[in-house]
Structures are given as C-alpha cells and as structure tokens.
C-alpha cells in the first residue's frame, strides 16, 4: 500500500499520543509501522483498518518499555566489562596511589573522616558525570544516553551503600588497606563511567 | 512455525550473522530477510527484535546510522569491531551446540556442519 504524507502524519500523531518520549525509539517505531503498511498488498482495505492491525501487533508503549529495559541491561553489561579493561585499571591505580596516599595521612587521627570525604567526592563526581552527559549531548530524549546515565547514577548510589568500610574491616582488612581498596574501586568506577558515557555520546553523534 | 523459545535463544546470533553478511540493515528489513531465508518458517516478532537490537547496540556490538527515507527517519544497524568478534564467538558456540544436539538425537551420525 502506498503511504501518503497524511498517512505518515497519522502514524506520528499516534506515536506522540502514546507518550513515546525517546526520539530514537519513536522514529524506529514509526518507520517499522510505516514499512509494514507499505508492504501490505492493496486489497481495498482502508488505511485506518490496516494501521490498527499493525499497532495491535506492536503497541507503542509496550515497545518503548521493552526497548528501554533491554538497553539498560545492555549498558550495565557493557559497564561491568569495562571495569576490567587494563587501561582503566592502570589509570585508576595511579590515581588511587595519589588520593589514597593523601587520605591515609589522616586515618590515624580522624578514622571516619577520610572515608566520608572519599564517598562524598565519589558521589559528587559520579553525579557530575551524569550532568556532564546531559550537558554534552544537549538532549534528554535519547534512550541509549538515558540508560547510560541512569545506570551510572544507580550503580554509583548502590556502590556507596554496598562497599562500606565497616564491611571490609569486618573481614579483617585494616582501615588503611580498606581506604585504598575503596579508593581504587571508586576510581575504576569513575574512569569507566566517564569513558563509557563519552564514547556513547560520540557514537550516537550527540555532540 | 519454529518453536518461539528456540528462536528467542538464537535471536542475537541471527541478528549478528545477518549483519555480517549484509553491511547494514534496519529492523523491518531484518524481519523480512529472516522470513525470506527460512521460507516463512521463522518469523521474528518486532517485540523481540527491537529490544535485542537495542541491547546489542548498548553493549557496543552494533553501531547505528540515521537516514532520512521518504519523510521519516530510518535507523540502520551495522557491526562494530567488537560485534565482528562476537559473530565468530556466537557461531562457534552455535556450531558446538548443534553438534551436541546431533549426537543426542542421532548418536550413530558424525555431524559435520559448515558455517
């Protein structure tokens, strides 16, 4: 069936009225529905009838939800593997030796303060990376970008909660070593997060 | 029609293999190509295809390219370098799986698949 501009506008209106917020998902849904209709043999069926059938097969909201969920899983997997990149590990190790060395100077006099300073700085840097992502890409309507910043935000918040100095000390690690371990983890996290976000923005051509 | 669970389990391999053979493809084109190659035996649902495509993109195995086609935007997928490596890994995995299945189904036969 030949698709006119008014047919296409009708499909776009449906996408908008169904709250497909992310441009990349919206465009793909529109193109898929339009391609399907174009390949329907013209047997006298009305356009609206065909459109309804095709939308039933690919409901827009469900489509957006499924795609978003899978992008998040994909990003988290990619992020997990990037934590083990040799380059990231080496960079993080160097930063850890500098920062950890500085913070450990205070550990004997004020035990908790270096840990608190480390965690606060980590969270500020992680959330700053998220803000940088939105600023650099100049959009909030790209699903891949959203999943990347969401994952960084979520994993950073979880990391501070899960990787706690008390937990490390509970298994017999001294405060000084615990400080180095935490610093190293946070640095690997930040280096990987920044690198992943920057790559994603470049790959998506959002700059 | 082939079992949907089997297709679901092989979907990423199917996508990667098709993109290895066809430089770039868009979603609808992939569904049609699979239908054509299997004479309609395997029909990939859009509800499974697009989430898989986006996941592969998020994992860095696929890159995308946007083109304006007849008043609408079309998103093409192509393999990245990591994606090319992943095709080989997936194909070896699939080959080993099929050989093992063949051993179970026909213990007397010596499977020899060419990919």
Q: Tell me, yes or no, whether A142 and A95 share the same domain.
A: yes
Q: Tell me, yes or no, whether A92 and A130 share the same domain.
A: yes
Predicted local distance difference test score (pLDDT) of residue A169: 79
pLDDT in tens, B12-59: 999 999 999 999 999 999 999 999 999 988 888 888 899 999 999 999
Residue B109 has pLDDT above 70, yes or no: no
Q: Tell me, yes or no, whether A121 and A190 share the same domain.
A: yes
Per the structure, the complete domain to which residue A40 belongs is given by 5-58
Q: Tell me, yes or no, whether A104 and A197 share the same domain.
A: yes
Q: Tell me, yes or no, whether A29 and A71 share the same domain.
A: no
Q: Tell me, yes or no, whether A182 and A83 share the same domain.
A: yes
Q: Tell me, yes or no, whether A53 and A111 share the same domain.
A: no
Pair of tokens at residue A182: 């935490």
Q: How large is the ipTM? A: 0.82
Instruction: Give the nearest partner residue to B26 out of A31, A39, A204, using CB atoms.
Output: A31
A28, A60, A66, A203: which to substitute to probe chain B, counting the most B Cβ within 10 Å? A28
Question: Residue A70 and residue B63: Cβ atoms within 8 Å?
Answer: no
Q: Tell me, yes or no, whether A175 and A101 share the same domain.
A: yes
What lies within 8 Å, CB to CB, of A82 at 6+ separation is A88, A192, A195, A196
Identify all chain A residues contacting B60, using CB atoms and an 8 Å cutoff: 78, 199
DSSP B64: E
Is the CB of A202 inside 8 Å of chain B's CB atoms? no
Average the pLDDT over A42-54 and give the result.
86
Predicted local distance difference test score (pLDDT) of residue B1: 53
When pLDDT is cut at 50, 70 and 90, the band that residue A170 belongs to is confident
Domains in chain B and their CATH numbers?
4-105 (1.10.10.10)
When pLDDT is cut at 50, 70 and 90, the band that residue A136 belongs to is confident
A136 C-beta neighbours (distance < 10 Å), count: 15
Q: Tell me, yes or no, whether A9 and A87 share the same domain.
A: no
Pair of tokens at residue B63: 């890159």
Q: Tell me, yes or no, whether A46 and A131 share the same domain.
A: no
B26 C-beta neighbours (distance < 10 Å), count: 20
Query: Among A37, A77, A204, A61, which Cα is nearest to A133's?
Result: A204
Q: What is the pTM of this model?
A: 0.82
The three state secondary structure string of chain A is CCCCHHHHHHHHHHHHHCCCCCHHHHHHHHHHHHHHHHCCCCCCCCHHHHHHHHHHHCCHHHHHHHHHHHHHHHHHHHHHHHCCCHHHHHHHHHHHHHHHHHHHCCCCCCCHHHHHHHHHHHHHHHHHHHHHHHHHHCCCCCHHHHHHHHHHHHHHHHHHHHCCHHHHHHCCCCHHHHHHHHHHHHHHHHHHHHHHHHHHHHHHCCC
Question: Residue A58 and residue B54: Cβ atoms within 8 Å?
Answer: no
Query: Among A109, A123, A124, A97, which Cα is nearest to A179's?
Result: A97
Question: Cα–Cα distance between B44 and A51 in angstroms, integer?
Answer: 20
pLDDT in tens, A78-106: 899 999 999 999 999 999 999 888 887 77
Q: How far is B95 from chain A (nearest CA, A)?
A: 25
Identify all chain A residues contacting B57, using CB atoms and an 8 Å cutoff: 71, 74, 144
Instruction: Give the nearest partner residue to A67 out of B54, B66, B71, using CB atoms.
Output: B54
Identify all chain B residues contacting A57, using CB atoms and an 8 Å cutoff: 46
Q: How far is B37 from chain A (nearest CA, A)?
A: 17
A12, A23, A32, A85: which to substitute to probe chain B, counting the most B Cβ within 10 Å? A32
Query: Considering A58, A80, A96, which residue would you say is the last residue of a domain?
Result: A58
When pLDDT is cut at 50, 70 and 90, the band that residue A207 belongs to is low
CB–CB of A100/A164 below 8 Å?
no
Question: Cα–Cα distance between A101 and A86 in angstroms, integer?
Answer: 22
Average the pLDDT over A184-200 and give the result.
91
Q: Tell me, yes or no, whether A195 and A176 share the same domain.
A: yes
Residue A42 has pLDDT above 90, yes or no: no
CB–CB of A136/A207 below 8 Å?
yes
Question: Cα–Cα distance between A77 and B58 in angstroms, integer?
Answer: 9
Q: For strand B25-26 and strand B62-69, is the pairing parallel, antiparallel, or unpaired?
A: unpaired
When pLDDT is cut at 50, 70 and 90, the band that residue A51 belongs to is very high
Predicted local distance difference test score (pLDDT) of residue B10: 86
Q: Tell me, yes or no, whether A30 and A106 share the same domain.
A: no
Average the pLDDT over A31-37 and give the result.
94
Identify all chain B residues contacting A144, using CB atoms and an 8 Å cutoff: 54, 57-58
Question: Cα–Cα distance between A182 and A184 in angstroms, integer?
Answer: 5
Domain count, chain A: 2
Q: How far is A188 from chain B (nearest CA, A)?
A: 19
Query: Among A82, A190, A24, which Cα is nearest to B60's?
Result: A82
Identify all chain B residues contacting A5, using CB atoms and an 8 Å cutoff: 71
Pair of tokens at residue B61: 């195995």
Q: A170 exposed, middle or buried (CB, 10 Å; 0-12, 13-18, 19+)?
A: exposed
């Amino acid at each position: 069936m030949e698709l006119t501009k008014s047919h296409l506008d009708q499909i776009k209106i449906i996408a908008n009225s169904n709250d497909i917020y992310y441009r990349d998902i919206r465009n793909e849904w529109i193109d898929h529905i339009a391609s399907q209709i174009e390949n329907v043999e013209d047997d006298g069926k009305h356009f609206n009838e065909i459109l309804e059938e095709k939308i039933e097969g690919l409901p827009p909201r469900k489509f957006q939800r499924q795609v978003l969920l899978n992008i998040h899983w994909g990003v988290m997997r990619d992020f997990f593997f990037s934590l083990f990149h040799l380059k990231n590990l080496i960079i993080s190790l160097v930063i850890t030796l500098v920062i950890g060395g500085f913070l450990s100077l205070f550990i004997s006099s004020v035990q908790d303060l270096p840990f608190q300073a480390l965690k606060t700085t980590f969270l500020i840097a992680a959330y700053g990376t998220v803000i940088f992502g939105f600023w650099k890409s100049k959009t909030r309507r790209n699903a891949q970008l959203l999943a990347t910043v969401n994952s960084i935000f979520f994993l950073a918040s979880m990391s501070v909660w899960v990787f706690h100095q008390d937990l490390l000390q509970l298994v017999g690690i001294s405060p000084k070593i615990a400080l180095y371990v935490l610093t190293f983890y946070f640095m690997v996290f930040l280096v990987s997060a920044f690198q992943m976000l920057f790559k994603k923005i470049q790959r998506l051509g959002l700059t | 029609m082939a079992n949907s669970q089997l297709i679901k389990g092989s979907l990423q391999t199917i996508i990667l293999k098709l993109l290895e053979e066809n430089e770039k493809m868009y979603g609808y084109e992939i569904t049609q190509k699979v239908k054509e190659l299997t004479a309609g035996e395997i029909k990939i649902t859009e509800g499974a295809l697009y989430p898989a495509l986006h996941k592969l993109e998020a994992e860095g195995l696929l890159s995308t390219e946007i083109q304006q086609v007849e008043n609408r935007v079309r998103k093409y997928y192509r393999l990245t370098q990591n994606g090319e490596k992943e095709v080989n890994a997936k194909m070896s995995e699939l080959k080993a799986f099929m050989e093992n299945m063949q051993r179970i189904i026909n213990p007397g036969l010596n499977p020899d698949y060419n990919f």
